[in-house]
Amino acid sequence: MAQVAARPASSVDMEGRPWVGRSIERVEDAALLTGRGRFIDDIGTPPGTLHAAILRSPHAHADIISIDAEAARRAPGVAAVLTGKQIEALTSSLVVGVKAPVECWPIATKRVRYVGEPVAVVVASDRARAEDAVELIDVEYRPCMAVVDPLAALAADAPVLHDGFPSNLASDRSFSYGDPDQAFAQAPHRFSIDIRYPRNSCTPIETYGVIATHDAAEDAFDILANFQGPFSIHTVISRALKVPGNRLRLRTPPDSGGSFGVKQGVFPYIVLIGAASRAVGRPVKWIEDRLEHLTASVSATNRATTLSAAVAADGRILALDWDQVEDCGAHLRAPEPATLYRMHGNLTGAYDIRHVKVRNRVVVTNKTPTGLNRGFGGPQVYFALERLVQRIAIGLRLDPLDVIKRNLVPANAFPYRTATGALLDSGNYQEAVARAVEQGRLAELMARRDEARAQGRLYGIGFTAVVEPSVSNMGYITTVLTAAERRKAGPKNGAQATATIALDPLGSVTVHVASVPQGQGHRTVLSQVVADVFGLKPQDIRVNTEIDTAKDAWSIASGNYASRFAAAVAGTAKLAAERIAARLARVAASQLNVEPADIVFAAGFVGSKHNPENRLAFSRVAALSHWSPGSLRDDADQTIRETVFWSPPELTAPDDDDRMNSSLCHGFIFDFCGVEIDRTTFETRIDRYVTMHDCGTILHPAMVNGQIRGGFAQALGAALYEEYAYAADGSFLTGTFADYLLPTTTEVPDPQIIHMETPSPLTPLGAKGVGEGNCMSTPVCIANAVADALRLADVTLPLVPAKLADLARGPEPLPAAGQTRAAAAREADRRLRGEGSAAVKAAPEQVWTMLLDARTLQAVIPGCQRIEKVSDTHFRADVTLGIGPVTGRYRADVELFDLDPPNAVRLRGKAEGALGFGDAEGRITLEPDGKGGTRLRYSYDASIGGKVASIGGRLLDGATRVIIGQFFAALARKAGGGASASGFSLVALLGRLASLFGGRR
């Protein structure tokens, strides 16, 4: 056997350098580059698997009056249609993160609270048939007022989403550290800033997927999902599915197409599809589509923040006063409101500020529920803090960089306890800034700005200093509770990382971790780490990162989030390997007749340090436990398999004064950039971006840079392009990749990356997290540069050129005399208004008669299949309408009122169909034209929502005009021999509003 496993010495690394710290090629890549990746939708399903499609709410807020799913249940291939009522019977409500009598279901029960909320699940033989049946479900809604703004949600008269919360306020906590009131009272200056941080998401290119099987014989679930953790959510899922944890086998596929936090949000669908599988007694698969993902997967929180600073004359910040209103969307899904508390220990950023006051409020609004997203709370906090630092500099006529430097935590202060409780483990921020300024050639950038400005160009420079926390304390979320509530709930702290090393009978090494990578290359790094311990090559180590909660070592902290891999998981793998290595050393010492302390692992051998000839092949020593346990030394123990759990002791629970060490490690980032704004288009071009990172020990330089570049590109998107936009009525406006804009190769520049390595004393490898930092630092760095270029006091993200232009340009040239100017629309006012007229040959009396005649209307309205006259002034109609190729069926209901025959009438109506809904009011007037005919004038005011608003908002106005124009044109034609007119324009309108679609050409 030894011969089989021994490798020729020539194949080992002869330099003896450690593998950690080198940019070796990734073990993951060969499969991914040849089309052999195994993502969830690439993996086969059990025979008999059915496919799910989901009917989703077109309304932001509405009561569900009735659901008629009979036609859908009878449709070809359909096995079941499940509505909220059935899911309620099959599951329990999801646990909510605050103490309140509030339910949270993975599907709407009696009310919908956001556009895209699931209303019914169809299970059918294939996805297309399931979608066919979804269209046959008839839901009657009673729309309610919606609220989308977090501050408006707090108003006394705001519509209330959940009866269990007092108003829409889910949590309200105030904190005080040091003596902020005194600091503010005594400080010579006070600066404040109001921030609205928008909604966005890191939108992985692979969407959610779930394949669920319920085993009725043992009442157990086997569920494969591209979930990313944290596995604390396993407890939420098993409770919701009403099985103990040991009957929920949750597995992940070998590959996942990116996550960035977002795939934590798949868990409500794990419950939903699990319940569907139980209902139909067959495996059920669901792959989310892109429209579903953008509309209703998960989002980062948007936040309204008022931040004030007490400032000394030299720019030193003496105290901060945070007032944060966090918008978690329609449901407070686990682990929210974690986004708000993740940064609690770091509210002073990279600065030495001893007095801090905080008020944290969490509200619910009619938007998609929020969850994990790269940066997780960091972008929101640093946008406020670093914009304020720039304001302070401008206000005091200081250099912004000087203000940053003056406030940095002193280099000799580490480990440094922040006012709010974080333990900054290591760093030298002054040194990092100095190196970045030097290596990043700040002086040259300043000269470029001077030169550009001298030429009349719009050029600005921005700075940011950021502390990047990593490895979350699983107890930080309990800061949302009072100390008394925490005592009652029991202690929560720490974060168990786990790694297992196994040696097989041929002595080859397998590593398993519960880190659930989503593309970061964990398998490669672990092979390096373990190879170093055993004196092997990375290719000798096989790493498995799939997770199976029925068989693998895991805990609630398992998973891929909070940048915990390098710091916690890789370190734990090292500890596990070292534990086995220590035993192997004893085994080898006994075989080689040396002391264990003399044993060294190198070049594929276990041998004596002092006598390199005295050695055994690693595989021979490694295999001994299998083949000959009797020959092991008594104190050696088995060397077959070792699992280590590691939870750093520094991650303590919040103390009674609410000080919270929310994360284990704290990297440092200092960014600066130069931007130029185009004077015509107001597009922001990044001239140069410099990002300095101190993330402790670097395990794989190319992967670290990959994390930085990837985070930077997403942050550039957040800064310039990306927003999950909502209208005031809760309509979702960015439902395709043509409206939710991810940056591409032509938008993303290459940042200059500079490194400094200050190892963490608290992690086994000295490494800290690095993946989230630029999502925290870059949006505000770019915003500071744009504010500098345009000399603006307030900028909001994303920095849409039109918004900047409207802020920066002077008054607009007026239209020429006699030219009409469209009334300026209010922000987020999506009501469609218009007016027009048509010449009709018939007299007003005739037109009037036709207007109230169902048969005439049916003949005139294109696509009208049926008109039902409910009363003389009330009609119902089924119409199929479209513009171009876009068509949809609608059920319309129209009433005429304020009848003034034959002069004028008002009408009001609504329509609902698979593509959306609308309501409208209009007025039609008929005047004799003096030639026996009629001058018909109309005006309308309509609102449209649902799918068409999400995916075709760009075209809504024009489509509406086409529909109405066509209707009256047809009317006028018809009335050549007698015409009709009607409020049914709104039917047509609602129908054809359809004409929206997304997609680039």
Partner 1 sequence: MTRLAAHGHHPVRFHLNGKPVEAEAEPRMLLSDFLRHRIGATGTHVGCEHGVCGACTVIVDGMLTRSCLTLAAQVDGCEVQTVEGLAPSADRLGILQQAFRRNHALQCGFCTAGILMSLDHYLRRNPSPREADIRDLLSGHLCRCTGYTPIIKAALEAAADFASTTEEKSDA
Partner 2 sequence: MKPAAFDYVRAESLDEVLEGLSNEGGNARVLAGGQSLMAMLNMRLARPKVLIDIMRLKELNRVEERAGVVTIGAGVRQATLLAWPELTRTLPLLALALPWIGHVQTRSRGTICGSLAHADPSAEMPLALIALGGEVHLRSKRQRRRVPARDFFVGMMATDRAEDELIEAVSFPGHRGGGCAFREVARRHGDFAIVACAAVATPNGVRFAVGGVADVPMARDWPCLDGTALDDALNGFAYELDARDDVHATARYRRDLVRIIGRDLIGEVLQ
**Which residues, numbered 729-758, are part of the site for partner 2 (CB under 8 A)?**
733-734, 738-739, 741, 743-744, 746-747
- 556 vs 742 by CB, closer to partner 1: 742
Identity (one letter) of the amino acid at 612? P
Interface with partner 1 (CB under 8 A), residue from 289, 546, 878, 893:
289
Which range, of 352-360, 891-899, 970-978, 990-998, touches partner 2 by CB under 8 A? 990-998
- 341 vs 740 by CB, closer to partner 2: 740
Buried b (16+ CB within 10 A) or exposed e, 150-165: bebbbeeebbebbeeb
Relative to beta strand 509-513, strand 541-544 is parallel
Q: Please state the closest distance from residue 218 (CB atom) to partner 2, in A.
A: 35
Interface with partner 1 (CB under 8 A), residue from 32, 446, 452, 805:
32
- 203 vs 360 by CB, closer to partner 2: 203
Total residues in contact with partner 1, by rule CB under 8 A: 59
Residue 821 binds which one of partner 2, partner 1, none, with CB within 5 to 8 A depending on kind? Answer: partner 2
3-state secondary structure of 143: strand
Q: Please state the closest distance from residue 749 (CB atom) to partner 1, in A.
A: 8
Q: How far apart (Å, rounded) are the C-alpha atoms in residues 660 and 654? A: 5
Q: How far apart (Å, rounded) are the C-alpha atoms in residues 889 and 71? A: 16
Q: Which residues pair with 663 in a beta bridge?
A: 472
When asked if residue 135 is in the footprint of partner 2 (CB under 8 A), the reply is: yes
Residue 681 binds which one of partner 1, partner 2, none, with CB within 5 to 8 A depending on kind? Answer: partner 2
| Window 429 to 458, contacts with partner 1 (CB under 8 A) | none
Residue 890 binds which one of partner 1, partner 2, none, with CB within 5 to 8 A depending on kind? Answer: none
Strand order in the sheet with 509-513: 541-544, 509-513, 497-503, 641-646
**Does residue 484 contact residue 463 with C-beta atoms inside 8 Å?**
no
**Does residue 154 contact residue 361 with C-beta atoms inside 8 Å?**
yes
Distances (CA, A) of 288 to 43, 190, 225, 295: 16, 49, 11, 11
Q: Please state the closest distance from residue 376 (CB atom) to partner 2, in A.
A: 25
Number of residues that this document lists for the chain: 1001
When asked if residue 681 is in the footprint of partner 2 (CB under 8 A), the reply is: yes
Of 966, 628, 916, 564, which is closest to residue 767 (Cα–Cα)? 564
Q: Please state the closest distance from residue 760 (CB atom) to partner 1, in A.
A: 24
Angle at 68 between CA 86 and CA 730, to 5 degrees: 85
Which tokens in the block code for residue 742?
């991810």
Which tokens in the block code for residue 829?
């006012």
Interface with partner 1 (CB under 8 A), residue from 172, 451, 750, 794:
750
**Does residue 531 contact residue 13 with C-beta atoms inside 8 Å?**
no
| Window 556 to 595, contacts with partner 2 (CB under 8 A) | none
- 128 vs 145 by CB, closer to partner 1: 128
| Window 284 to 303, contacts with partner 2 (CB under 8 A) | 289-292
Residues 692-731: x where in contact with partner 1 by CB under 8 A, - otherwise, as a string: ----------xx-xx-xxxxxxx-----------------
Residue 533 binds which one of partner 1, partner 2, none, with CB within 5 to 8 A depending on kind? Answer: none
**Does residue 682 contact residue 805 with C-beta atoms inside 8 Å?**
yes
Relative to beta strand 169-177, strand 118-124 is unpaired
Q: Please state the closest distance from residue 518 (CB atom) to partner 1, in A.
A: 6
Of 396, 441, 452, 385, which is closest to residue 789 (Cα–Cα)? 452
Which tokens in the block code for residue 519?
């593309």
**Does residue 509 contact residue 536 with C-beta atoms inside 8 Å?**
yes
Residue 750 binds which one of partner 2, partner 1, none, with CB within 5 to 8 A depending on kind? Answer: partner 1
- Max Cα distance, the chain (Å): 120
Total residues in contact with partner 2, by rule CB under 8 A: 73
Identity (one letter) of the amino acid at 611? N
- 361 vs 693 by CB, closer to partner 1: 693
Q: How far apart (Å, rounded) are the C-alpha atoms in residues 111 and 114? A: 10
When asked if residue 725 is in the footprint of partner 2 (CB under 8 A), the reply is: yes
Q: In the chain, count H helices and then E strands.
A: 27, 35
Task: Rounding to the nearest 10 degrees, give the CA dihedral for residues 146, 151, 156, 160.
Answer: 30
- 253 vs 952 by CB, closer to partner 2: 952
When asked if residue 290 is in the footprint of partner 1 (CB under 8 A), the reply is: yes
| Window 908 to 927, contacts with partner 2 (CB under 8 A) | 914-915
Q: Please state the closest distance from residue 202 (CB atom) to partner 1, in A.
A: 7
| Window 246 to 265, contacts with partner 1 (CB under 8 A) | 255-258, 260
Interface with partner 2 (CB under 8 A), residue from 312, 483, 805, 899:
805
Distances (CA, A) of 434 to 304, 428, 695, 778, 781: 34, 10, 17, 19, 18
Residue 657 binds which one of partner 1, partner 2, none, with CB within 5 to 8 A depending on kind? Answer: none
Residue 626 exposed, middle or buried by CB count within 10 Å (0-12, 13-18, 19+): middle
The Cβ-side half-sphere exposure at 564, using a 13 Å CA radius, reads 33
DSSP type of residue 543: E
Q: Please state the closest distance from residue 962 (CB atom) to partner 2, in A.
A: 4
Q: How far apart (Å, rounded) are the C-alpha atoms in residues 861 and 858? A: 6
Which range, of 504-512, 517-525, 917-925, 957-965, touches partner 2 by CB under 8 A? 957-965
Interface with partner 2 (CB under 8 A), residue from 117, 132, 255, 658:
132
Q: How far apart (Å, rounded) are the C-alpha atoms in residues 117 and 372? A: 18
When asked if residue 998 is in the footprint of partner 1 (CB under 8 A), the reply is: yes
Q: Please state the closest distance from residue 206 (CB atom) to partner 1, in A.
A: 5
When asked if residue 728 is in the footprint of partner 2 (CB under 8 A), the reply is: no
Which tokens in the block code for residue 857?
């209307």
Which range, of 62-70, 204-212, 264-272, 564-572, touches partner 1 by CB under 8 A? 204-212
Interface with partner 2 (CB under 8 A), residue from 397, 412, 635, 821:
821
| Window 245 to 274, contacts with partner 2 (CB under 8 A) | none
Of 245, 246, 225, which is closest to residue 235 (Cα–Cα)? 245
Q: Please state the closest distance from residue 29 (CB atom) to partner 1, in A.
A: 4
Residues 862-901: x where in contact with partner 2 by CB under 8 A, - otherwise, as a string: --------------------xxxxxxx-------------
- 518 vs 625 by CB, closer to partner 1: 518
- 31 vs 128 by CB, closer to partner 2: 128
The site for partner 1 (CB under 8 A) is made up of 23, 25-26, 28-37, 39, 41-42, 76, 128, 202-207, 255-258, 260, 289-290, 518-521, 702-703, 705-706, 708-714, 736-738, 742, 744-746, 748, 750-751, 998-1000
